[in-house]
């Protein structure tokens, strides 16, 4: 029996396979099958939403037990190497090298993290892999250790690579200063710059090289400024005939070709007319609002990242778009003030594209209380997460205890867009009306 089990047992997957399974779990499936898997997962989400709405006393059951019709998943125009942004970690590799640059297999909770090179991962473009390989070469020759656990010392940390269809490449190196003085830091920055401009790293032809000293897991520009060591302060992308400026920490959809398809569909779903005002919540660098500005009378964008708003304003000016205004700050602080005094008679359509944390309840409250908003498009890359809470808050009967006033919305249509081939994720666009 033992021999039979041994003969039937599969060989242990290689580290490369383990990484591919972790970050691109659908990589073995033909693309049409991947789309079908995603369709089924989105169908289950809409069934869950219908059940949750039923629990609130809302008759939301449509054919198939869904809360609204679900269209087929819209495929990505590019299937391999589509990512325009990759984040590489520095940690121990399968061979024990503590300066391996790659992606994680395992979890911190299980204490079994291994950093595996991503040379074979299908959704990462070759340029990103090239920069990661060069960074690994650089830190491999550095006398300074990698920073695996902050309290144990070490300095070299993660690498972010951003690229555009214009051929631009931005690299951002994160570095833990520990106890180093300014002179020692200046030396490391000079060495890094020299490597990527005159040394082996010059092959990467970086448009921009940034350096960020960070004592935290994640740092904004305001907390610790991005320091430009070489090249231009921004890279540029073209999308739907417009040119967009991108700062180191600005949000931009990770699949540019897929984003074009998504934004065109959003424009159709808005049913905007010449007198419509478009409210673009969590607007990032303004891509959605600016791409639809020619269809509406005015665009109002709200975004928490200050540098992204600077990009949005530059993007509007550069593209000759004058009917946009952008507000910096948390949506929960800006939006209630903006909508409380709203007296504009023009129709108001809202588009929200929040992070996985979803919208703050004050944002939902402000949207519901604004009678002018009759149509809302919610774009979510994780609708089964916190976005589900938002869907219920938008659709539930008025609730004085939660200060949720105003007429509830109802889900009318759902369209998934595959912006992340080989992974289980997609962007779901849910249309709500009232």
CATH number where 222 lies: 2.40.50.1070
Same domain, 223 and 314: no
| pLDDT reported for residue 273 | 84
Residue 68 lies in a domain: no
pLDDT tens digits, residue range 113-140?
899 999 999 999 999 999 999 999 999 9
Within 8 A by CB and 6+ apart from 103, the residues are 19, 22, 23, 88, 89, 115, 116, 118, 121
Closest CA to 382 of 43, 85, 21, 45: 45
Overall domain count for the chain: 2
Select the more confidently predicted residue: 305 or 125: 125
Q: What is the mean pLDDT of residues 249-265?
A: 93
| pLDDT reported for residue 19 | 96
Same domain, 318 and 424: yes
Residue 226 lies in a domain: yes
133 is in an annotated binding site: no
Catalytic residue among 134, 282, 381, 396: 381
Closest CA to 298 of 266, 345, 253: 345
Report the chain's mean pLDDT, rounded to a whole number. Answer: 92
Residue 39 lies in a domain: no
Q: What is the mean pLDDT of residues 165-193?
A: 96
386 is in an annotated binding site: no
What's the CA gap between 17 and 15, in Å, rounded? 5
State the SS3 of 92-152: CCCCCCCCEEEEEECCCCCCCCEEECCCCCCCCCHHHHHHHHHHHHHHHHCCCCECCCHHH
Same domain, 306 and 212: no
61 is in an annotated binding site: no
Strand partners, 114: 105
Select the more confidently predicted residue: 112 or 79: 79
Same domain, 162 and 197: yes
Domain end call among 238, 266, 285: 238
Domain end call among 209, 238, 267: 238
pLDDT tens digits, residue range 366-420?
999 999 999 999 999 999 989 999 999 999 999 888 888 889 999 999 999 999 9
Helices (H) and strands (E) in the chain, counts: 11, 16
Tell if the pTM clears 0.85, that is, is over it. yes
Same domain, 290 and 315: yes
When pLDDT is cut at 50, 70 and 90, the band that residue 434 belongs to is very high
Q: What is the DSSP letter of 10?
A: P
Q: Which of 21-30, 174-183, 356-365 has the lowest mean pLDDT?
A: 356-365
Same domain, 149 and 271: no
Contact 404, 416 (CB under 8 A): no
Which residue range forms the structural domain that includes residue 269? 255-433
Cα-Cα end-to-end distance for the chain: 65
Domain end call among 205, 238, 271: 238
| pLDDT reported for residue 5 | 46
Same domain, 184 and 266: no
Closest CA to 280 of 268, 264, 292: 292
Select the more confidently predicted residue: 177 or 106: 177
| pLDDT reported for residue 62 | 78
Residue 223 lies in a domain: yes
Same domain, 227 and 101: yes
pLDDT tens digits, residue range 19-62?
999 999 999 999 999 999 999 999 999 999 999 999 988 887 77
Catalytic residue at 381? yes
| pLDDT reported for residue 307 | 85
| pLDDT reported for residue 1 | 44
Per-residue tokens: 57: 């006393």
Q: What is the DSSP letter of 225?
A: P
Select the more confidently predicted residue: 127 or 362: 127
| pLDDT reported for residue 9 | 67
């Amino acid at each position: 029996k033992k021999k039979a089990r041994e003969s039937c047992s599969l060989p242990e997957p290689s580290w490369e396979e383990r990484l591919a399974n972790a970050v691109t779990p659908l990589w073995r499936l033909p693309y049409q099958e991947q789309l079908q898997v995603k369709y089924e997962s989105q169908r289950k989400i809409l069934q869950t939403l219908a059940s949750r709405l039923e629990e609130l006393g809302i008759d939301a059951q449509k054919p198939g037990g869904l809360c609204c019709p679900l269209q087929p998943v819209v495929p990505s125009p590019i299937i391999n190497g589509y990512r325009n942004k990759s984040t590489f970690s520095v940690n121990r590799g399968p061979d024990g090298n503590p300066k391996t640059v790659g992606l994680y297999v395992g979890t911190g909770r299980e204490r079994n993290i291994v950093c595996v090179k991503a040379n074979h991962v299908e959704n990462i473009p070759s340029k990103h892999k090239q920069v990661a390989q060069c960074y690994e070469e650089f830190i491999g020759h550095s006398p300074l250790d990698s920073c695996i656990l902050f309290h144990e010392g070490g300095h070299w940390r993660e690498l972010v690579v951003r690229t555009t269809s214009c051929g631009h490449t931005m690299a951002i190196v994160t570095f833990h200063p520990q106890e180093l003085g300014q002179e020692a830091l200046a030396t490391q920055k000079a060495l890094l710059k020299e490597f990527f401009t005159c040394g082996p790293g010059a092959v990467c032809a970086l448009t921009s090289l940034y350096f960020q000293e960070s004592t935290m897991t994640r740092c904004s520009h305001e907390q610790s400024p991005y320091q430009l060591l070489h090249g231009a302060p921004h890279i540029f992308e073209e999308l739907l005939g417009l040119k967009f400026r991108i700062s180191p920490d600005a949000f931009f959809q990770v699949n540019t070709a897929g984003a074009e398809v998504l934004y065109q569909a959003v424009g159709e779903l808005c049913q905007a007319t010449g007198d419509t005002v478009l409210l673009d919540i969590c607007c990032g660098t303004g891509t959605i609002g600016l791409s639809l500005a020619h269809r509406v009378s005015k665009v109002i964008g709200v975004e928490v990242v200050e540098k992204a708003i600077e990009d949005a304003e530059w993007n509007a000016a550069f593209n000759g778009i004058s009917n946009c205004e952008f507000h910096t700050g948390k949506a929960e602080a800006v939006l209630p003030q903006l909508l409380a005094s709203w007296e504009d008679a023009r129709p108001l359509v809202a588009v929200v594209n929040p992070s996985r944390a979803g919208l703050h309840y004050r944002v939902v409250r402000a949207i519901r209380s604004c009678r002018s908003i009759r149509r809302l498009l919610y774009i979510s890359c994780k609708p089964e997460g916190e976005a589900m809470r938002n869907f219920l808050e938008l659709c539930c009967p008025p609730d004085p205890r939660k200060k949720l006033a105003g007429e509830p919305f109802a889900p009318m249509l759902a369209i998934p867009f595959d912006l992340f081939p080989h992974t289980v994720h997609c962007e779901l666009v849910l249309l709500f009306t009232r």
